[in-house]
């Protein structure tokens, strides 16, 4: 394994992911995300966003093509290296928070460092700092059932960034929240990005997508446009003619 500080955080070249039964969830995706970017991955249900998230998040390998994350070519990694890459370089935020029910906010966040070889005392100390960062310093010993939806998502964000990952992947981070809580979470995502974290937000919500500086639009497993705030939308060539359905 080798990677340098100047490598893009994400680099896909001709990445495909097919499932049995002729489902082509990704159809030759080329995508580069540079350090410091804040990108919306947007598209309708079934367009391949979750598949892309799984491939970028090293939860799944592509069927063909190359995928590099934090400079590492995922197809060249052993299973142990693949897991290490995920644990050390990628933070995840999910729509439904995925917090451990019986554990307080500090221990939920400290778990984000479980695989980094950090002793428990330091894990908890760093968790407290991360919780202060998402402005939950007054909720350290609260368990998930004692937190609002927005607070739970802020705990999940603290857990995702406590190890200072190269990449934060947020999958519909406001999908389970009311508008006010969703706005706080998105403001936090902007704040983390301004402080240097590279972030991809997967969303089907065009309003959220429009609020981010770069939008990569998916349809039927392909990128159909890639635009930046203030820049002219740059449509990709139209989808190639298909011989098989994508399914939905
Ligand atoms: P999105 O996240 O945009 O809703 P997905 O990536 O979940 O889209 O799905 C893209 C396509 O791949 C869909 O047609 C979906 O049915 C199919 N798909 C996703 N996961 C699997 C799987 N494990 N097995 C078979 N087909 C799948």
CB 192 within 8 A of CB 130: no
Q: What is the pLDDT of residues 15-62, one digit of tens each?
A: 999 999 999 999 999 999 999 999 999 999 999 999 999 999 999 999
Which of 20, 42, 51, 201 most suits a substitution to test ligand 1, by most atoms within 8 Å of the C-beta?
51
Q: Would residue 60 count as lying in a domain?
A: yes
φ, ψ (nearest 5 deg) of residue 10: -135, 135
Assigned token pair, 203: 């969303």
Question: Does residue 231 lie within any of the structural domains?
Answer: no
Q: What is the CA(171)–ligand 1 centre distance, in A? A: 14
Q: How far apart are CA 29 and CA 67, in angstroms?
A: 10
In a domain, 237, yes or no: no
Which domain range does residue 147 map to? 10-226
Instruction: Give distance in angstroms: CA of 138 to centre of ligand 1.
Output: 40
Any ligand 1 atom below 6 A from CB of 22:
no
CATH number at residue 41: 3.40.50.300
209 in a structural domain: yes
Residue-wise pLDDT tens digits, 18-30: 999 999 999 999 9
Q: State in Å: Cα 108 to ligand 1 middle.
A: 30
Distances from the Cα of 11 to the Cαs of 110, 130, 195, in angstroms?
Answer: 30, 28, 22
Share of the chain above pLDDT 70, in %: 90
Tell whether pTM > 0.85: yes
Ligand 1 pocket test target in 48, 172, 245 with most atoms within 8 Å of CB: 48
Distance from C-alpha of 167 to C-alpha of 183, rounded to nearest angstrom? 21
Whether residue 26 is contained in a domain is answered as: yes
- Split into its structural domains, the chain has a count of 1
- State the pLDDT confidence band at 177, using cuts at 50, 70 and 90: very high
* Region 132-139 average pLDDT: 96
Residue 166 maps to a domain: yes
pLDDT of amino acid 243: 39
Q: Determine the Cα–Cα distance for residues 246 and 21; give it in Å rounded to an integer.
A: 10
Residue with CA at minimum distance from ligand 1 atom 27: 19
Query: What is the CA(169)–ligand 1 centre distance, in A?
Result: 18
Is residue 235 assigned to a domain? no
Domain presence at residue 169: yes
Handedness of CA 107, 123, 195, 31 (dihedral sign): negative
Nearest to 112 by CA among 102, 98, 101: 98
109 in contact with ligand 1, CB cutoff 6 A: no
């Amino acid at each position: 394994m080798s990677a340098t500080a100047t490598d893009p955080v994400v680099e896909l070249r001709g990445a495909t992911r097919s499932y049995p039964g002729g489902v082509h969830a990704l159809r030759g995706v080329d995508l580069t995300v540079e350090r410091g970017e804040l990108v919306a991955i947007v598209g309708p249900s079934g367009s391949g966003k979750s598949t892309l998230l799984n491939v970028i998040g090293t939860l799944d390998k592509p069927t063909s093509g190359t995928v590099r994350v934090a400079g590492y070519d995922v197809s060249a990694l052993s299973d142990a290296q693949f897991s290490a890459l995920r644990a050390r370089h990628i933070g995840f935020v999910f729509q439904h928070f995925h917090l451990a029910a019986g554990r307080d906010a500090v221990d939920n966040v400290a778990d984000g460092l479980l695989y980094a070889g950090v002793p428990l005392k330091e894990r908890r100390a760093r968790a407290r700092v991360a919780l202060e960062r998402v402005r939950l310093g007054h909720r350290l010993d609260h368990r998930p059932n004692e937190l609002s939806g927005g607070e739970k998502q802020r705990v999940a964000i603290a857990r995702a960034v406590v190890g200072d990952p190269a990449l934060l992947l947020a999958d519909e981070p406001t999908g389970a929240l009311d508008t006010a809580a969703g706005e706080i979470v998105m403001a936090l995502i902007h704040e983390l990005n301004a402080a240097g974290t590279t972030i991809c937000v997967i969303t089907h919500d065009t309003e959220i997508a429009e609020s981010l500086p770069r939008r990569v639009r998916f349809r039927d497993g392909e990128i159909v446009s890639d635009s930046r705030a203030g820049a002219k939308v740059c449509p990709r060539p139209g989808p190639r003619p298909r011989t098989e359905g994508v399914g939905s």
